[in-house]
Structure 1
Amino acid sequence: MDKLDLLQGIARISVFVSLLMAFFLLTVKTENKLANRLFAFFFIFSAIDLSGFFMYLYTEDHRNLEIFRATFCLLGMPTFYLYVLSVCYSDFRLKWKHLIHLLPFVIVNLLFIPRIYKSIEEGNFIGPLNEMSEIYFIQILVELQYVFYIVSVFLILKKYKEIYLENYTNASVSTYKWLFQMTCVFLAAHSIVLLKNALRYSGFRDIFLWANILVGTIALFITCWFIMKALKHPELFRGVNSKLKLTKDILPEVEEKSESVNVKNDLIAAQITSLKQYMSEKEPFLDPSLTIQELGNQINIPARDLSVLINHHMDQHFFDFVNEYRIQKAMNILKDQSKSDLTVLEILYEVGFNSKSSFNTSFKKYTNLTPTAYRNAS
């Protein structure tokens, strides 16, 4: 098997796996159907792009179709961007304004009509395609588009994490980690694609072929990684409400309503004391899905005021504030000799955690010891 056959074989497997993943996402039952559909279309567009390694064998007499297929690479990143939005924000919905993401795809195809599509159709196409200015334009556009969307995704994830920590207490931030890992993988993979494309004009055909094989192999491994993640962690997709504001945005509005410094300080001190007493006596933190809205309802404080109280005046994220009580209760259980028969797994569920790795990380953050080491030292 020569290098070209190897490349085509890997590409065919990658396309098959991508389409299989898309079929799974489109048919599996889930609450977040929009996210799954967007991710499925991302895999479909990726499969169309990867098929370029072998589709030219079947489109020899239909070069317009092959060129049109190549422009689908401009739909991949916009779809991934919308997918990230739909996963991060539970209230995200597609709107007519999102059609603007199709603009590069439309512009490129309109640009190709005069000198490429039309000339091929009329049978008077002359010269190598790669040397045409339109092809250089699309390559530059693809790179600019990629940079724009990868930066946009990182900004979305940054805001998502901040909102999550300030409003939610579920000990698992796996959604953020999953999306962040995926985006980093895409960034690394695209860097390799960029180097591969640079080799196209170097004259080293063998190196360019090996680079294509590497790209196809990486694409296959990434797709398989996605499948393993989806099967092993079906709980990954938990969104937050995009309408929630960060404390830094709420603070100026709240401070405008304050009358005097003394009155404000007395009120804040009283609220903090009341909040800590409620947390100790009623133990609302035992609910693993406790949110700042739910806690605010329980103590009759508006969620926005409670957010400012905890995240600003107590200088803690809501996430850390609640976990501190969970860890304290876990420490008391671990020190209690009458409960020595309880396993660490049983304890973490009892105090409000739902992930062993998250419990161990949080416990070590507060005590510098693992739960088992802390129990043995007590």
Structure 2
Amino acid sequence: MSSPSPVLSTIIFVFALQAILLSALIYFKRPKRQSNTFLSLLIFFYALMALNIAFINILIRFDSFPIFRYFQLELLYGIGPAIYFYTKSISNPSFKFKKRDYIHFLPVFLEFIFYRTGFYRLGAEGMYQAQQHPYTKIYLTEQWLGIISITVYTLFAFKLLLNHQDWLKQHYSNLDKKSLNWLKLPVIFYAFFWIAWNILREIDRVIYEGYLKDYYFLPTFMGLAIISVWIAFKSYTIPPANHQEKLKKLNLKADGPINLSEYAKKIELLMTTEKPYLNSDLSLSDLANQLDMNTKQVSQTINSCFEKNFYEFVNQYRVGYFIQKVKASEQEKFTLLSLAYDCGFKSKSTFNDSFKKITGKTPTEYIKKMKKESESMHSVD
């Protein structure tokens, strides 16, 4: 057992308690959202673990640690379902949690009962005894099944995020405030945390007989508590994405057969003459309305004829228009970023990423190359 540290224990206690309070605020936040319910559960499960560690150290200082085995709460099996259903709710507002979905949380109830039995108490204590208790294998099996549960659910959650990102690129030319990239970090972190933690704990137990525990035990849970608070604050302050348009578009069907070659010419003509890409908020439905087509016709034409998604297709025109402005020496009057905004881009990162993907160079490198080519041509003349 790690030596109690008043400073680290206090930090863990304070941040874990803050995370639990934030989870309650998120749960009762108005308007009531299904995603907030799962987010509050996710934060609560992790914060509760960190809070338990703080209690452990308090009990150790008062030589009362055995008491902890009777009220310990480590709801490991709730983390995976909470991550998955939170991700599913926030990326697809049409999803409704049904009665049959409660089966995913049944292991949490069984886990709670397990921690009230001697299988847990004797098994957990037996990990650090000279002669391992027979129940220790049961305890370790329960722990590793929990890790597998978290990993599997997290992989499914991350797949939902990737699918959502692909959907956005098929429907929007600007992903600012629509992308859920910020959600990927906590999902990866929570998945990595338990895998790394249990591997580290097993290495320490088997090879070093628990001697390294003082170096990593409390700092690890301090980091868990702090990051849980960060996740809670960030998630609480970021407004949910508006996907009402998504629900409408998913039900659209093409009217009759799709003539891709004719549609491609029609799209190219509009993009060249009307320059709809100058609208930084241009969406697939906006372009479809201007073309007097539906979104499925436009999307299928762009995917098949131009071999791009909507996001790449529109930003290709924006980059081309930017290059036209640079060739007209407009960069000498305005900054590169202001020119990018004039071309329909809404953020510096999107502009730089799109430009380099299309040209293979950064905007600055491209302009330098153009200047060198221009100077060499003049020198020849």
| Mapping of residues 128-167 of structure 1, within 5 Å | 128=125, 131=133, 132=135, 134-167=138-171
Q: Distance in 2 between matches of 1:126 and 1:314?
A: 61
Q: Distance in 1 between matches of 2:328 and 2:183?
A: 40
Deviation string 1:45-72 (CA, Å, 9 cap, x unpaired) is: 21111112132446869657623x22x2
Corresponding letter in the other structure for 1:213: L
Bigger mean CA deviation after superposition, 317-326 or 153-162: 153-162
**Larger RCO: Structure 1 or Structure 2 (Cα < 8 Å, ≥ 6 residues apart)?**
1
| Mapping of residues 38-49 of structure 1, within 5 Å | 38-49=38-49
| Mapping of residues 1-378 of structure 1, within 5 Å | 3-5=3-5, 7-19=8-20, 21-22=22-23, 25=26, 33-56=33-56, 57=58, 66-67=71-72, 69-70=73-74, 72-111=75-114, 128=125, 131=133, 132=135, 134-172=138-176, 175-199=179-203, 201-202=205-206, 204-220=209-225, 222-223=227-228, 226=231, 234=238, 237=241, 241=246, 258=257, 267-337=259-329, 340-375=332-367, 377=370
Contact 1:111 1:134 in 2 (8 A): no
Contact 2:38 2:86 in 1 (8 A): yes
CA RMSD of aligned residues (A): 3.9
Corresponding letter in the other structure for 1:79: A
Structure 1 residues 357, 229: CA separation in 2 closer, same or farther (over 3 Å shift)? farther
Bigger mean CA deviation after superposition, 168-177 or 351-360: 168-177
Contact 2:261 2:305 in 1 (8 A): no
Number of aligned pairs? 354
What is the SS of the residue equivalent to 1:47? helix
Contact 1:286 1:352 in 2 (8 A): yes
Q: Distance in 2 between matches of 1:230 and 1:374?
A: 39
Q: Distance in 1 between matches of 2:247 and 2:152?
A: 21
Bigger mean CA deviation after superposition, 145-154 or 187-196: 187-196
Q: Distance in 1 between matches of 2:123 and 2:351?
A: 66
Structure 1 residues 239, 85: CA separation in 2 closer, same or farther (over 3 Å shift)? farther
Q: Distance in 2 between matches of 1:271 and 1:309?
A: 7
Q: Percent identity?
A: 19
Contact 1:17 1:223 in 2 (8 A): no
Contact 2:204 2:211 in 1 (8 A): no
Structure 1 residues 114, 339: CA separation in 2 closer, same or farther (over 3 Å shift)? closer
What is the SS of the residue equivalent to 1:11? helix
Deviation string 1:153-201 (CA, Å, 9 cap, x unpaired) is: 2221221122122222214487343233333323332232112331574
Contact 1:171 1:288 in 2 (8 A): no
Contact 1:38 1:79 in 2 (8 A): yes
How far 1:35 sits from its partner (Å)? 3.5
Structure 1 residues 235, 334: CA separation in 2 closer, same or farther (over 3 Å shift)? farther
Corresponding letter in the other structure for 2:52: G
Q: What is the TM-score of this pair, normalised by structure 1?
A: 0.77
Gaps of 5+ in 2: 128-132, 372-381
Deviation string 1:319-364 (CA, Å, 9 cap, x unpaired) is: 1011111112222233334574332332233222221111111112
Deviation string 1:290-338 (CA, Å, 9 cap, x unpaired) is: 2223322321222122221111232111110111111122222333345
Q: Distance in 1 between matches of 2:37 and 2:143?
A: 28
How far 1:269 sits from its partner (Å)? 1.6
Contact 2:17 2:51 in 1 (8 A): no
Gaps of 5+ in 1: 259-263
What is the SS of the residue equivalent to 1:205? coil
Q: Distance in 2 between matches of 1:361 and 1:32?
A: 37
Q: What is the TM-score of this pair, normalised by structure 2?
A: 0.76
How far 1:287 sits from its partner (Å)? 2.7
